[in-house]
Amino acid sequence: MSADDRLAVVVARDRTQTVIDRLRELDAYDDDRTVQPWDDDSVAVPVTSVPADLAVRDVVRQVGEPRLRDLDDYLRERGWTDAEIDLAPASWAVVGSVVLVDVGDAPRPEEVGAALLQLHGEADTVLSRGPITGEHREPAVEVIAGTGDTETVHREHGTAYALDLAEVMFSPGNKAERSHMGAVVREARERSEPSETGAGAARHATGERERVLDMFAGIGYFTLPMARAGATVTAVERNPVSFRYLIENVQLNEVADRVQPYRADCRDVTPDLAADPVDRIVMGYYEAHEYLDAALPALAPGGVVHMHEATPDGLVFERPIERIEAAAADAGRGVEILDTRRVKSYSEGVAHVVVDARIE
Q: Which residues are annotated as a binding site?
A: 171, 178, 237
Instruction: Give residue 312's identity as a one-letter amino acid code.
Output: P
Instruction: Give residue 326's identity as a one-letter amino acid code.
Output: A
Q: H/E element holding 182?
A: helix 175-190
| Distance from chain centroid for Cα 268 | 29
Contact 127, 147 (CB under 8 A): no
Residues belonging to the binding site for S-adenosyl-L-methionine are 171, 178, 237
Contact 137, 287 (CB under 8 A): no
Residues 6+ apart with CB under 8 A from 297: 270, 271, 273, 274, 277, 331
Burial class (CB in 10 A: 0-12, 13-18, 19+), 79: buried
CB atoms within 10 A of CB 60: 15
Is the N-terminal amide bond of 170 cis, ω within 30° of 0? no
Cα torsion 118, 121, 125, 131: sign: negative
Angle at CA of residue 156, ends 213 and 280, nearest 5°: 15
Cα torsion 101, 102, 106, 111: sign: positive
Separation CA 308–CA 353 (nearest Å): 6
Burial class (CB in 10 A: 0-12, 13-18, 19+), 69: middle
